[in-house]
C-alpha cells in the first residue's frame, strides 16, 4: 500500500520504535518500497564565520552520520530500497521538504524525541509535521 516511506530518525526511543514500524511495513509490502531515512541537524548561525563554520558543520555531519547508522541498524533486514538524507534542520522543515519533493506517501516518526520536556504528548517537530504533512503520518509510541 505504501511505496515511498519517509522515516524521521533522531536516535530517540520513539524514533527507534518508528524505525521498527517503518521496517515492518516495508517487509509486509507486496510491491517494491523505497524507505527514505531523514536525519536533520540543527542549523548553524552564519555569524560563526570561517573556518569555524565549516568545522561546526563537519562536526554536526559526523554526529548525524552516527545517528543514521543507528537508524539503519534499527531497520535491520528489509527488501526495501534504502535511501538516506542528512539535512540541515529544523527537523520538521527538513522532513516536510523531503516528503514534498520526493513524493513520500507515508511519514513515520516518533511521538517524542530527544527533547527534555517530558510532559508533552507530542514533541514540537512531530506536531508540526502532523499539521503540515502532504501525506499520512504514523506516530510511534
Residues near ligand ATP (CB under 6 A): 8-10, 12, 14-15, 18, 38-40, 89, 91, 109-110, 112-115, 117, 123-126
Comparison of 11 and 113: residue with beta carbon closer to Mg ion: 113
Decide if 22 contacts 83 (C-beta within 8 A): no
- Give the binding range for Mg ion (CB under 5 A) out of 32-40, 44-52, 97-105, 114-122: 114-122
Which one of 24, 79, 103, 115 is in contact with Mg ion (CB under 5 A)?
115
What would the DSSP string read from start to end of 17-74? HHHHHHHHHHHH-SS--EEEEEEEE----GGG-TTHHHHHHHHHHHHHHHHHHHHHHH
Which one of 11, 89, 110, 113 is in contact with Mg ion (CB under 5 A)?
113
Q: To the nearest whole angstrom, how small is the minimum distance from the Cβ of residue 131 to Mg ion?
A: 16
Q: How many CA atoms lie within 13 A of 53 on its CB side?
A: 8
Residues that bind Mg ion (CB under 5 A): 113, 115, 123
Amino acid at each position: 500500500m505504501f511505496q515511498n516511506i519517509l522515516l524521521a530518525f533522531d536516535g530517540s526511543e520513539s524514533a527507534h520504535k518508528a524505525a521498527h514500524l517503518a521496517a515492518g511495513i516495508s517487509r509486509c509490502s507486496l510491491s517494491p518500497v523505497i524507505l527514505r531515512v531523514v536525519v536533520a541537524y540543527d542549523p548553524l548561525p552564519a555569524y560563526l564565520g570561517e573556518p569555524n563554520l565549516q568545522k561546526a558543520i563537519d562536526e554536526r555531519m559526523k554526529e548525524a552520520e552516527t545517528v543514521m547508522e543507528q537508524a539503519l541498524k534499527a531497520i535491520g533486514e528489509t527488501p526495501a530500497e534504502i535511501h538516506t538524507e542528512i539535512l540541515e534542520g529544523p527537523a520538521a522543515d527538513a522532513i516536510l521538504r523531503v516528503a514534498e519533493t520526493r513524493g513520500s506517501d507515508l511519514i513515520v516518526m516518533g511521538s517524542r524525541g530527544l527533547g527534555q520536556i517530558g510532559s508533552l504528548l507530542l514533541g514540537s517537530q512531530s506536531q508540526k509535521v502532523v499539521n503540515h504533512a502532504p501525506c499520512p503520518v504514523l506516530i510511534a509510541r
